[in-house]
């Protein structure tokens, strides 16, 4: 019997090896890989809290920054670290890389309603943009599109001007600390390999797609190359200005979130406590000493309890959630807090300086014919990767405006998504239900795809001059804050976006698009009726009224002397309180914000360890444990 089984196994493995390029066999193996990946989940158990429990550190929010800093702090065995998360475990739609779309507007999404200025975003159904964020272990790292981008050196040198210690050479160390690069094409190139690491927890990959998708990559990147957008091996290496296929934070059929790579492997540390469905409503601050000493928490049971922190409270609730919590706790602009009868502990610009990567999308009509629909049939073969072919680029414009947007870093990030013909119902659904856009605009977008492939070409303004703010709606911790996103308040932003649009519509003049009769779809844009198509005035109207969010808000608790936190992320005027998330970024990075936020978590953990090294050394020398487990703990 054993010989027969062995012979069968050898024959089966031989068949798999021989037919390894068969797309249907690939699909079957990927399904097996996915089923193995999502079962069992193995997420941390929720620690049962009781009123009065004490810990050394309490971290609020288990997202990109919070899960990272909490896990690293728990490496110090005599520190008791509590991580509080308002949501629960990531669902299968989070774990499987291709299913991120199912998380939008779900119970796993904070789904903050964001106000647009009058006359802006007239194609949004209710005059609002919804800025999502993950409400689960891993936060937005468990719900985002998984694009891995780190920003430009000039970004961090600008941070360093207001917050010393955040220059490019320093942050590159922390990017390497978190990264586990699996792309051999990058690692075998010594110029690129220098910028990467294989020893960190977060897997970064760029798997080879099916042959059809690879052909699409060539068509798009080749067209951009004709326009002067250089083809690069990658856009996280020695060069950034150019185009390539993206790197992603997934590998082996699983999303590489902070829940996956930091929390799961370390959930059994005896000094690391993780409690889910725990909503923090207030940070407790001693009004005499101005020291944060604990938090008020609503548990899943409905019980409101008080927890105490012996060393620090760390707020990692995100760019919208963190300023809201700080203001509820008495830290923020006096003129915002006093009308709500909140005692001002520290009059700081909390909620100010809000920036977001605004996005304007063009629809490029490509090859005609239902034969292009074959691409849509291949989506199931990419379940463990990005579901449709995606290309990315960064570029600068040769414009008189350039001097206002940095000297070397890119102005615009591009994402191109190709869809085969007959995907119109999916486009209509995504436009209406996900992007919250009006009916006539969405119908005109989907109509372009009925008989033709389309490219959804998104232009992202990387360094907006415009600023918004987050304010409290009320003193009720369960009310959403009032968030003004402030798109195009600075007219330089609009002028630069118009220049970018005028440059990118020229893609239809490149070889591939000329061959297939490519053209820019003329969409039904509310507010632009009567304007001459293709003029600067038209494109300005188009940008203002179709603008959307890439969900990259930053800056509401900015670092710096005149900001909310210092260069070590300590809240000004308040002892024992830090912020570790994207809200501390002084200005937006050049690219997606997930990797920079994880980097902030890594650096914050090292700074905290440094700040308490002398105390730790003293305690070790005296052979005592100031923070030992006793009746003050649970």
Catalytic positions:
552
Angle, vertex CA 335, rays to CA 331 and CA 339, nearest 5:
95
Beta partners for residue 593, in sequence order: none
What's the farthest any 2 CA atoms get from each other in the chain?
A: 82
Beta strand 452-461 with 412-419 is: antiparallel
User: Is 236 marked as a binding-site residue?
Assistant: no
Q: Is residue 327 within 8 Å of residue 516, measured between CB atoms?
A: no
**Token output for 490:** 């600075």
User: Is 104 marked as a binding-site residue?
Assistant: no
User: Is 144 marked as a binding-site residue?
Assistant: yes
Question: Which residue, among 164, 175, 216, has the nearest Cα to 197 in the 3D structure?
Answer: 175
Q: Is residue 134 within 8 Å of residue 102, measured between CB atoms?
A: no
Q: Which residues contact 29 (CB under 8 A, 6 or more apart)?
A: 16
Q: In what order do the strands lie in the sheet with 469-471?
A: 128-131, 112-115, 482-484, 469-471
Q: Which residues contact 213 (CB under 8 A, 6 or more apart)?
A: 375, 378, 382, 388, 389
**Token output for 59:** 């971290």
Q: Is 527 helix (H, G, I), strand (E, B) or coil?
A: coil
Other C-beta atoms lying within 10 Å of the C-beta of residue 371: 11
Look-up of token digits 């900001």:
563
User: Is 271 marked as a binding-site residue?
Assistant: no
Other C-beta atoms lying within 10 Å of the C-beta of residue 555: 27
Q: Which residues contact 106 (CB under 8 A, 6 or more apart)?
A: none
Q: Is residue 547 within 8 Å of residue 488, measured between CB atoms?
A: yes
User: Is 146 marked as a binding-site residue?
Assistant: yes
Q: Is residue 325 within 8 Å of residue 60, measured between CB atoms?
A: yes
Q: Measured between alpha carbons, how far is residue 502 from residues 13, 123, 228, 603 in Å?
A: 54, 21, 14, 40
Q: In a 10 Å sphere around its CB, with 0-12 CB exposed, 13-18 middle and 19+ buried, how is residue 95 labelled?
A: buried
Q: How far is 246 from 252, CA to CA, in rounded Å?
A: 17
Q: How far is 549 from 103, CA to CA, in rounded Å?
A: 16
Tell me the DSSP string of 228-292. T--B-S-SSSS--SEEEEPPBSEETTEE--HIIIIIHHHTT-TTEEEESS-EEEEEEEETTTTEE
Q: Measured between alpha carbons, how far is residue 120 from residues 21, 529, 547, 585 in Å?
A: 50, 15, 8, 26
Q: How far is 455 from 521, CA to CA, in rounded Å?
A: 10
Specify the DSSP class assigned to residue 112: E
Question: Which residue, among 553, 563, 524, has the nearest Cα to 541 in the 3D structure?
Answer: 524
Q: What are phi and psi of 311, to 5 degrees?
A: -115, -60
Show binding-site residues for FAD: 144-147, 280
């Amino acid at each position: 019997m054993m010989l027969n089984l062995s012979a069968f196994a050898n024959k089966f493995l031989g068949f798999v090896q021989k037919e390894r390029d068969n797309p249907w066999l690939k699909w079957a193996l990927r399904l097996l890989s996915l089923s193995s990946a999502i079962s069992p989940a193995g997420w941390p158990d929720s620690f049962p809290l009781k009123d009065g429990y004490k810990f050394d550190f309490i971290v609020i929010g288990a997202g990109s920054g919070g899960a990272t800093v909490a896990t690293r702090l728990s490496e110090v065995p005599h520190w008791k670290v509590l991580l509080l998360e308002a949501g629960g475990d990531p669902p299968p739609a989070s774990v499987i890389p291709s299913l991120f779309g199912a998380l939008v507007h779900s119970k796993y999404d904070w789904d903050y309603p964001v106000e647009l200025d009058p006359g802006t975003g007239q194609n949004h159904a209710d005059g609002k943009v919804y800025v999502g964020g993950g409400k689960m272990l891993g936060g937005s790292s468990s719900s985002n599109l998984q694009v891995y981008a780190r920003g430009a050196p000039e970004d961090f040198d600008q941070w360093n001007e207001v917050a010393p210690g955040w220059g490019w050479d320093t942050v590159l160390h922390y990017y390497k600390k978190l990264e586990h690069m699996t792309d051999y094409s990058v690692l075998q190139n010594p110029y690129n390999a220098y910028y990467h690491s294989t020893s960190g927890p977060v897997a970064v990959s760029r798997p080879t797609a099916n042959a059809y998708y690879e052909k699409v990559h060539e068509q798009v990147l080749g067209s951009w190359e004709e326009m002067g957008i250089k083809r690069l091996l990658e856009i996280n290496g020695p060069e950034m200005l150019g185009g390539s296929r993206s790197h992603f934070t997934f590998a082996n059929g699983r999303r590489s979130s902070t829940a996956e790579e930091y929390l799961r492997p370390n959930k059994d540390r005896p000094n690391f406590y993780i409690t889910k469905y725990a909503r923090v409503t207030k940070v407790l601050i001693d009004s005499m000493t101005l020291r944060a000493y604990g938090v008020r928490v609503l548990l899943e049971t409905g019980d409101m309890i008080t927890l105490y922190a012996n060393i620090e409270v760390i707020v990692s609730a995100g760019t919208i959630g963190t300023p809201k919590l700080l203001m509820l706790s008495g830290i923020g602009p006096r003129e915002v807090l006093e009308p709500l009868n909140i005692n001002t502990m520290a009059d700081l610009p909390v909620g100010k300086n809000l920036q977001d990567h605004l996005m304007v999308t063009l629809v490029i009509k490509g090859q005609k014919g239902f034969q292009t629909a074959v691409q849509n049939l291949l989506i199931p073969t990419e379940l463990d990767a990005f579901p449709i072919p995606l290309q990315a680029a960064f570029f600068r414009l040769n414009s008189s405006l350039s001097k206002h947007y940095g000297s070397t870093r890119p102005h615009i990030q591009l994402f191109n998504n190709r869809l085969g013909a007959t995907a119109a119902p999916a486009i209509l659904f995504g436009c209406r239900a996900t992007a919250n856009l009006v009916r006539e605009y969405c119908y005109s977008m989907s109509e372009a795809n009925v008989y033709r492939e389309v490219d959804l070409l998104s232009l992202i303004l990387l360094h907006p001059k415009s600023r918004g703010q987050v304010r409290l709606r009320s003193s009720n911790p369960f009310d959403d804050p009032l968030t003004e996103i402030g798109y195009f308040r600075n007219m330089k932003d609009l002028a630069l976006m118009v220049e970018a649009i005028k440059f990118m519509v020229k893609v239809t003049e490149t070889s591939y698009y000329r061959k297939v009769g490519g053209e820019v779809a003329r969409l039904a844009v509310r507010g632009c009726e009567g304007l001459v198509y293709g003029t600067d005035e038209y494109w300005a109207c188009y940008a203002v009224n179709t603008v959307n969010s890439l969900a990259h808000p930053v800056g509401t608790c900015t670092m710096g002397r005149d900001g909310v936190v210092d260069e070590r992320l300590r809240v000004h005027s308040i002892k024992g309180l830090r912020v570790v998330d994207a809200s501390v970024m002084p200005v937006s990075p050049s690219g997606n914000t997930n990797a920079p936020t994880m980097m902030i978590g890594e650096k914050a953990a090292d700074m905290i360890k440094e700040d308490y090294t002398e105390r730790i050394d003293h305690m070790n020398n005296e052979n005592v444990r100031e923070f030992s487990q006793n009746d003050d703990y649970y």
